[in-house]
Structure 1
């Protein structure tokens, strides 16, 4: 609280606090748009690849159990989309290509990377 009292008497600090406040408002809108994009891609991934992960799990797992990164449910699909946006997409795309086929997985993963990184 003392910082805000100091800002009233120090014009440069007051200007800096106003700029930071305006930036946080715009960042909130951007975060909301990114969350909507991640939600949409998680639902698309779950709908397109969820059944394939269940039916063809023996192609990617020796004991025929689902791996940690799969798109069978919404939560894991959401985590995969978040992982792709963070740059860790190679292993999950390889598993997707093994269970669902190359063209569709490459298309979806590239769309996630391009659209997600543009937002």
Structure 2
């Protein structure tokens, strides 16, 4: 039989890599470089979130009120929309990832 608490304890075995890093200088260097990089990426992530926030609010102001079932010919409103902040934030992130064409057609349909 299996106990779920034991699987959590078994996951601590992954920490052995850090113990190994002390005796292996190349791995120690790699882990230290990765740690410094993650710290530097925090600033970039913060700036990216602010930019997504600004465009999400702009999208809600420009398109949010027009996302109605009538705009889509009586069909259901698409999952990716600008009606609320959460969906607006996700659609801007989706556009930044390169999947912009479907969102563009929906916004064109909504804006008239």
Fold agreement, TM-score > 0.5: yes
Distance 1:63 1:21, change over 3 A: same
The counterpart of 2:38, out of the listed 24, 36, 42, is: 24
Return the offset for 1:66.
Answer: 2.5
Question: Alpha-carbon deviation of 1:64?
Answer: 5.4
- Structure 2 equivalent of residue 5 of structure 1: 19
- 1:76-115 equivalent positions in 2, closer than 5 A: 76-101=87-112
Q: How many residues align?
A: 98
**Gap change, CA 1:52 and 1:3, over 3 Å in 2:** same
TM-score between both structures, scaled by the size of structure 2: 0.74
Structure number, greater radius of gyration: 2
**Alignment RMSD, CA only?**
1.9
Q: Which runs of 4+ in 1 moved over 6 A?
A: none
Higher RCO (Cα < 8 Å, 6 or more apart)? 1
Instruction: Tell me the equivalent position of 2:70.
Output: 58
Structure 1: gaps of 5 or more residues:
102-119
- Cα gap change, 1:8 to 1:96, in 2 (>3 Å): same
Pick from 38, 46, 49: which aligns with 2:52?
A: 38
Give TM-score scaled by structure 1 length.
Answer: 0.70
Establish whether residue 72 from structure 1 lines up as the match of residue 83 from structure 2.
yes
CA distance in 2, matches of 1:98, 1:87: 20
